[in-house]
Amino acid sequence: MFAMTENDDHQLRVSKIQNGTVIDHVRAGQALNVLAILGIDGSEGEEVSVGMNVPSDRFARKDIVKVEDRELSQDEVDVLSLIAPDATINIVREYDVVEKHRVDRPEVVEGVLSCPNAGCITTDDEPVTSRFEVLDDGVRCAYCGTIVREGIASLIDT
């Protein structure tokens, strides 16, 4: 459904989506992590278009993710902001952008990440919801203090 077309500048462009979400200005190399956050692995039949390492006016290079027939929840946007703090979320309806906003990094995320510390109370059989404080360069578990700077996408609860 997402036809690639060539314009006069000889740059490839992905065609517009009819309805859904476009996640733009994702740091180059993070598109696959965005898909992981959204739980998109190709098994559900969702129509997705990904542009990786494409030229950008704001950055030297960026990634773009387009998801047909899906609008992101605030929880998804909050987690997305951890790996794509400069992203822009565009909601598309009938081929028109009806809503556009930049992600805001929350101060805290709850119940969306697993603590990698095997000794943390959240990894026991206790009914404790994970809670992470958002740092400039990562997240910190509110219970055990473990700081995670890399691989945040791998900690997402599914």
d(CA 68, CA 15): 12
Binding residues: 115, 120, 141, 144
d(CA 115, CA 140): 9
In one-letter notation, the amino acid at residue 128 is V
d(CA 65, CA 48): 7
Q: Strand locations in the chain, DSSP E?
A: 4-6, 12-14, 20-27, 48-55, 61-68, 88-93, 96-102, 108-110, 131-135, 138-141, 147-148
Binding residues for Zn(2+): 115, 120, 141, 144
